[in-house]
Amino acid sequence: MPSAEIAVMHPAGLHARPAAEFVKLAASFPCNIKVRNLTADKKLVNAKSILSVLTLGVQQGHRVCIETSGEKEEEALDALRELIESNFGEAKP
Amino acid sequence: MSQQAKGIPVSDGIAIGSGWIYCPVAIKVERYQNQDPEFEKDRLETALQQAKSQIAQLHQRTRETIGEEEAAIFEAHALFLDDPEFVGGIKTIIEAQRINAEAAVEEVVELYAQQMLSLEDAYFQARAQDIGDVGHRLLCCLLGVSPEGINLPDRAVIIVAEDLTPSDTVQFERSKILGLCTVRGGPTSHTAILARSIGVPAAVCLPMQLDDLENGVLLILNGTDGTLTIDPAPGELAQARQSQNQWRSRWAEQVADAHLPAITKDGRTVEVVANIGSVTDARQAVEYGAEGVGLLRTEFLYLDKQQMPSQAEQINTYREIFEVIGNRPLVVRTLDIGGDKAVEYLGTKSEPNPFLGWRAIRMIDEKPEILRDQFCALLEAGAGFDLRIMVPMVSSLDEVQQARQLFDEAHQALRTSSRPMADNVQFGIMVEVPAAALLVEHLAKYVDFFSIGTNDLAQYTLAVDRTNERVAHLASPFHPAVIRLIAGTIQEAHAKGKWVGLCGEMAGDPLAAPLLLGLGLDEFSMAAASIPVVKQTIRQLVYRDCQEIAATALKLPTTKTVMEYLEQVKDKNVVEGSRGK
């Protein structure tokens, strides 16, 4: 089961627009995708659920772990990692 | 038998029509065992679709009438309804506990709301409210009741409510509102602001029981004296219609004449301009004869954001408003936020005394870049416009020097990069703190103009917290101490050759017009809807008489005597004005 650890550098963390973008992208893949906030040691939640992602309270600088399993698991992981690494399409702060 | 309730008048005029009682809350969910989980899940599915289409409509309407920013709230609501965990959670409970869809929705909504609240961050507190809102909508769809004001009756009505929130009011179709009245709220409540902005009568703080009212009952709402008459007798109705007609023809006359200059009978001209905070306000200001803008509030650009708005975003937003105002003069107030609104990236935190705390110009030491960026954006957006910029909350000379230096730096930076920028921009300060009013003589050296903010000046002079309902009524701009500070400010500024505006509520009050005119005020800035009546009032006055009126008023010892004296002056003018026609 592929997984990756990434730091979220967007000033909004995983709230507001970044959270919405993240969830929409996750929902576009058929596989199961889970995400956990490593910094705050929160539970593993469904990455396709906006409410669950919000409850992780991911803030700028927090590290998250993403796990994918099932059809297109590699592509999904790459796409989500790229979204976070590209700072959700915004210039780096 | 007719009944009457007397509240606080907040928006002028008389409305006659049927009442429509708006009760957004109080949905009682019954919990019962379901016979068939599949049936409950189907009901849930239908309700979800219905709620989604309602939200899509709200999103659209809010974007058109208010703006992109506010509309984004409803985008988030739509995402919640697509959330697999949220919807899945409800379905699981329907199956596992074999209960009805309503009870299951309530349980899951409560669960997520609690989780958000436990995160202890203002952002999540607001999300908890959003979840509650979405849950409420879903329950309404399941129960087949109209969720909010979306389904106003076909005819126009007088809306009666316990209280109205911003999210309530965005949903009312403006053409269907004859008037607004609420049991709670004050003169600065959202109800009051909405009513004045769309120009319908309103009264708040009405002592009455909503339960005693029936939908469709005939009402007379007098927004000029604050009375609501329920089920009026034929005589009362006839009288109300007559006053309504008089009021309407007076209003029509004022609006028709609103584009004429405000010039006294003996030839003194003053500028009558508008207080605005959006493109919609700007359009209305132009429609009601504003000769410019005396106060453009800029806080909306910074609230509900996770990071500083970019230069491009600031410039585009300003330009959109500037274009509506065209070549008229335009005064922009720089950011005025403090501990009353905690915005993380600005560094404002909740404080025990936010109005005495770290706010507005006081941010300049720790965070000069906020003001510098705003100056740059304004200067660039202002290319080709008659731009003036003022900083709020000044209490010392150092602050003005520092702000002036940042302003000059921004100017220099733009010139070096040879970007287009506004020419001959006037730089001013607000006089809201008594210290500033008493130092005008020294401050004048660094500014081109002064603008008196009487709401805050009264609050700070009289040591009254305007948000504290028990003492708020004491913060009158007609208090002799406040009037003396206004008089002193105008006198000293004029002695140094600087012009003076006034942008508090006082400027829009016809009662204050002879006093302010007599004190020599150059610019009156107010809510757009007040412009026609203030202009008409000024045109009926004689400047020389007003100077005497002001001199007399300045000698009076109390708020009460000042107001009584101005009432007498007004009555005398009304008589003379009508005789002159």
Structure tokens at A30: 């058929």
Say if B243 falls within a structural domain: no
Say if B550 falls within a structural domain: yes
Say if B137 falls within a structural domain: yes
If asked whether residues B98 and B200 sit together in one domain, one would say: no
Say if B363 falls within a structural domain: yes
B-chain CB neighbours of A15 within 8 Å are 123, 306
Task: Find out whether B487 and B550 touch, Cβ atoms under 8 Å.
Answer: yes
Among B110, B143, B176, the domain-final residue is: B143
If asked whether residues B398 and B491 sit together in one domain, one would say: yes
| Packing angle of the helix pair B68-81, B37-65 (nearest 10 deg) | 170
Among B92, B108, B143, the domain-final residue is: B143
If asked whether residues B69 and B196 sit together in one domain, one would say: no
Instruction: Tell me if B307 and A11 make a contact (CB, 8 A cut-off).
Output: yes
If asked whether residues B495 and B385 sit together in one domain, one would say: yes
Partner residue facing B86 (CB), from A11, A20, A49: A49
Say if B242 falls within a structural domain: no
Partner residue facing B306 (CB), from A11, A46, A49: A11
Q: Please tell me the predicted confidence (pLDDT) of residue B579.
A: 46
Cα(B399)–Cα(B393) distance, integer angstroms: 10
Between chain A and chain B, the number of residue pairs with CB atoms below 8 A apart is: 49
If asked whether residues B13 and B45 sit together in one domain, one would say: no
Phi and psi at B558, nearest 5°, equal -135, 160
If asked whether residues B484 and B349 sit together in one domain, one would say: yes
Could you tell me the CATH number of the domain that includes residue B484?
Answer: 3.20.20.60
Cα(B180)–Cα(B200) distance, integer angstroms: 8
pTM of the model: 0.62
Instruction: Tell me if A57 and B121 make a contact (CB, 8 A cut-off).
Output: yes
> Sheet containing B157-161: which strands, arranged edge to edge?
B3-6, B227-230, B218-222, B14-22, B157-161, B177-182, B202-204, B8-11
Check A15, A42, A63, A81 and give the catalytic one: A15
In this predicted model, what pLDDT tens digit does every residue of B239-262 receive, in sequence order?
Answer: 999 999 998 888 888 888 899 999
Give the best residue of A34, A46, A51 to mutate against chain B (max B CB count within 10 A).
Answer: A51
Instruction: Tell me if B79 and A93 make a contact (CB, 8 A cut-off).
Output: no
Helix (H, G, I), strand (E, B) or coil at B229: strand
- Catalytic residue status for A15: yes
If asked whether residues B459 and B317 sit together in one domain, one would say: yes
For residue B228, give its domain range: 3-24+150-233
Whole-Å CA distances, B332 to B16, B355, B370, B381, B526: 39, 21, 15, 12, 14
If asked whether residues B292 and B405 sit together in one domain, one would say: yes
Distance of CA B237 to the CA centre of its chain: 32
Which residues of chain A register pLDDT less than 50? Answer: 93
Could you tell me the CATH number of the domain that includes residue B108?
Answer: 1.10.274.10
Check B59, B136, B190, B479 and give the catalytic one: B190
B-chain CB neighbours of A88 within 8 Å are none
Q: Please tell me the predicted confidence (pLDDT) of residue B131.
A: 85
If asked whether residues B227 and B358 sit together in one domain, one would say: no
In this predicted model, what pLDDT tens digit does every residue of A70-82 receive, in sequence order?
Answer: 999 999 999 999 9
Domain count, chain B: 3
Phi and psi at B567, nearest 5°, equal -60, -45
Which residues of chain B register pLDDT less than 70? Answer: 1, 24-26, 62-71, 120-123, 125-126, 129, 146-151, 165-171, 185-190, 193-194, 197, 469, 574-581
Cα(B117)–Cα(B110) distance, integer angstroms: 10
Structure tokens at B286: 């132009």
If asked whether residues B382 and B477 sit together in one domain, one would say: yes
Phi and psi at B231, nearest 5°, equal 55, 60
If asked whether residues B10 and B50 sit together in one domain, one would say: no
Cα(B255)–Cα(B64) distance, integer angstroms: 25
Q: How far is B309 from chain A (nearest CA, A)?
A: 12
Among B103, B128, B143, the domain-final residue is: B143
Say if B244 falls within a structural domain: no
Say if B249 falls within a structural domain: no
- CATH architecture classification, A3-89: 2-Layer Sandwich (3.30)
If asked whether residues B397 and B545 sit together in one domain, one would say: yes
Helix (H, G, I), strand (E, B) or coil at B438: helix
Say if B59 is an interface residue toward chain A (CB within 8 Å).
no
